[in-house]
Amino acid sequence: MARKLPAKDVVIIGLGWTGSILAKELTDAGLQVVAVERGPWRDTATDFSTAYVQDELRYRIRHDLFLRPAQDTLTFRNNARQTALPMRSFSSFMLGNGVGGAGIHWNAESFRFLESDFVLRSHLTERYGAKMIPENMTIQDWGITYADLEPYYTKFECMAGTSGTAGNIKGTKQPGGNPFEGPRSAPYPTPAQAQPYGPALWAKAAKELGYSPFPQPSGNLSQAYTNTYGIEMGPCTYCGFCEWFGCGNYSKSSPQVCILPALVRSQNFVVQTNCEVTRVNLDNTGKKATGVTYVDASGEEWEQPADIVLVCAFMMFNVRMLLNSGIGKAYDPVTNDGVVGRNFSYQTWSTVTGLFDNQNFNPFVSSGAIGYCIDDFNGDNFDHSKLGFFGGGYLGANMTNGRPLQASARVPKGTPNWGAAWKKAVADNYLSSYEFNQHGSCYSYRTNHLDLDPTYKDRFGRPLMRMNFDFDQNELRMAGYLTDRMAEIVQKMGAREIQKYPRTGPYNVSQYQTSHTCGGAVMGTDPKTSVVNKYLQSWDVPNVFVVGASAFPQNAGYNPTGTVGALAYWAADAIRTQYIRNPGPLVPV
């Protein structure tokens, strides 16, 4: 029997990026907030010592900062004819664990999505006709526009200190920035990072081919910055141990660096760590949440009553929390009925490796969000009428590191995997090779979805989340097209050898290909095709908000965190200015 705790105004499940943003905004509004986080407390000063944090084995290979599969994992199958099997270790994507969540170990690529991304179905229908959209492609509009979200993107960037070069300020194109981006109300809070040799050489080649390279918007800061909460951040030192690692310099945007020092000072805020929420509790009508139940590290069960429940875990676990709590109807791909688990998407990530003569890229001098990109082949910035696919992605020279285990894979084609020839090839190519990337979109399909596994259970006996996913031909054609365009730029740079690695099917769970899983509890205007309304409020249980990439109806050709952060501020604002005054559905059903 769970022991009941005193009621709070708000309980937050998970204290990563979205939980921290909402906690800060709502404690500032005077609400009593408790966050329940299943992983440990972590902080820069105590956990990310610059004396030993640069450890490839511990963090990159042994996954020191990540969720342990023994604690929780998911099962996977490509299609309904197969039996899903558990991910016994994580490879394809990495799930955060503990305070800060994935905001600790991300690269800090801080993009905004394109204006057309938010109205994808209407945009493609208008430009190409409804018949051009494949029947099984379940893409939809978000229910909000870029213009709606713009102030909240700005809010996120001003909190995170994002470094970049604006391409469009209030409709006026800016030199050196991304000409395809939506209008910004303000420049980036800090200028773009300095660039190493590889990206500089690539940008020159891209420009010569007629493209418009711009510096990748980066949460690795180019200079010291004091953010909107009065917290001081330090400049990035280009250490090359960014993504998969915690930052010891206070220079990577993260909840630890940008929010928690201000948040924990609030007397309205408490976080319980190493405590895992097992379900959201509903009253007997099933239309009102009464709080959450969680289990602490000693196995004791607690009930935390609250007026508002914010589901802010990683998207996978947001979806599972809804399914395990009976909030919203589970999606059935056979009948095409229900919504929870529907429109699960990912990222279609491809690479090109270039080997060069007489070049020294010093690959270890880098940051997590370094480099130049082009958006000429992102979203619908290029004509798709004769291509046989929709979508796109940014192309970039964004190599983040020279960590030896990763870098030792960059050898000429035909090199053996071991022995004297392998050893020599690694020695010869380490400094003079570069890996480029094509960060492709991933649209939604009827059969790509999340549900509960019938066999495998977690440590509490709850069914694991089951991921049903494969790449559609649309995505694979897009990946091939983008990879060919990238190879042309690398050719222009003068590479001796070019290796093309377009994403191929079937989707393979043992190959790392970004941690950008999306959807499953998507936002929209129609309760029949969305789990939450445009304010990320549950259609079914209005005092529950589900915040994160779980709300993306499909994924764009960008890293998701900038948009996730903007959505968190957008939802926080709706709760502060509308919901608190008048609790109930913010959008009539």
Partner 1 sequence: MTTYPSANGVSRRALLAGTAAALIWTTVSRARTVTGKLPWEANAGEPPQLVHPGPWVFFSPEEGASIEAIVDRLIPPDAQFAGGKDAGCAVFIDTQLAGPYGSSEGLYMRPPFLAPTPQQGDQNPNTPAQQYQRGLAALDAYVKKAFVGKTFRELTEEQQDTLLKGLETGRVQIDGVNGSVFFALVLKDTKEGFFSDPVYGGNRDMVSWRMIGFPGARYDYSDWISRHNERYPLPPVSIGGRVDWTRKG
Rounded CA-CA distance 18/10 in Å is 14
CA-closest candidate to residue 351, choices 200, 473, 486: 486
Nearest alpha carbon to residue 114 among 479, 575, 562, 425: 562
Minimum CB distance to partner 1 smaller for 87 or for 205: 87
Which position among 4, 30, 61, 488 is part of the footprint of partner 1 (CB under 8 A)?
61
Q: Which H or E run contains 263?
A: helix 260-263
CA distance 63 to 243: 12
Q: Does 510 bind partner 1 (CB under 8 A)?
A: yes
> Taking the CB of residue 288, how many other CB atoms lie within 10 A of it?
16
Residue 504 in contact with partner 1, rule: CB under 8 A = no
Rank residues 140 and 272 by Cβ distance to partner 1 and give the closer one.
272
Position 297 contacts partner 1 (CB under 8 A): yes
Least distance in angstroms from the C-beta of 437 to partner 1: 20
- Quick one: 562 exposed, middle or buried, by C-beta within 10 A (0-12, 13-18, 19+)? buried
391-426 in b/e form (b: 16+ CB < 10 A) is bbbbbbbbbbbbbeebbeebbeeebeeeeeeeeebb
Residues in region 68-127 near partner 1 by CB under 8 A: 68-71, 73, 76-78, 82-83, 85-89, 91, 99
* Interaction of residue 238 with partner 1, rule CB under 8 A: yes
Helix 17-28 to helix 561-574 angle, to the nearest 10 degrees?
30
Q: How far is the CB of 579 from partner 1 (least distance, A)?
A: 24
Pick the closer one to partner 1 by CB: 490 or 574.
490
Instruction: Give 503: exposed, middle or buried? Use CB within 10 Å, 0-12, 13-18, 19+.
Output: buried
Query: Site for partner 1 (CB under 8 A): which residue of 248, 341, 542, 557?
Result: 248
Nearer to partner 1, 273 or 525 (CB): 273
Q: Which of residues 418-447 bind partner 1 (CB under 8 A)?
A: 418-420, 422-424, 426-427, 430-431
Q: Which of 134, 191, 235, 338 binds partner 1 (CB under 8 A)?
A: 235
DSSP reduced 3-state for 523? strand
Q: Which one among 404, 454, 494, 584 touches partner 1, defined by CB under 8 A?
A: 404
Binder of partner 1 out of 1, 3, 6, 45 (CB under 8 A): 45
User: Can you tell me whether residue 330 is helix, strand or coil?
Assistant: strand
Taking the least distance from each CB to partner 1, the nearer of 140 and 268 is 268
The smaller minimum CB distance to partner 1, of residues 62 and 127, is found at 62
Q: Stretches 17-25, 46-54, 160-168, 211-219: which one binds partner 1 (CB under 8 A)?
A: 46-54
- Output 220 or 563, the one with its CB closest to partner 1: 220
* Candidate list 40, 183, 326, 527; residue touching partner 1; CB under 8 A: 40
Decide: is 577 part of the binding site for partner 1 (CB under 8 A). Answer: no
Q: Which residue has the tokens 């893409």?
A: 139
Which residue of 383, 417, 582, 589 would you call a contact of partner 1, by CB under 8 A? 417
What is the total count of residues that contact partner 1 (CB under 8 A)? 95
Distance CA 383, CA 518 (A): 26
Of residues 107, 154, 253, 272, which one binds partner 1 by CB under 8 A? 272
Site string for partner 1, 185-224 (x = CB under 8 A): ---------xxxx--x------------------------
Question: What's the closest the beta carbon of residue 463 comes to partner 1, in angstroms?
Answer: 12
Backbone φ and ψ for 463, nearest 5 degrees, come out as: -60, 145
Q: Which is nearer to partner 1, 49 or 577 (CB)?
A: 49
Other CB atoms within a 10 A radius of the CB of residue 82 amount to: 10
Which of 183, 402, 412, 463 binds partner 1 (CB under 8 A)? It is: 402
d(CA 556, CA 391): 8
Q: Give dist(CA 570, CA 572) in Å, integer.
A: 5
Q: Tell me which residues are annotated as active site.
A: 516
457 lies in the site for partner 1, by CB under 8 A: yes
Nearest to 477 by CA among 379, 349, 353, 387: 387
Binding segment for partner 1 (CB under 8 A), chosen from 55-63, 130-138, 151-159, 573-581, is 55-63
Closest CA to 356 of 240, 487, 490, 483: 490
- The least distance separating partner 1 from the CB of residue 568, rounded to whole angstroms, comes to 20
**Distance of alpha carbon 48 from alpha carbon 251, whole angstroms:** 12
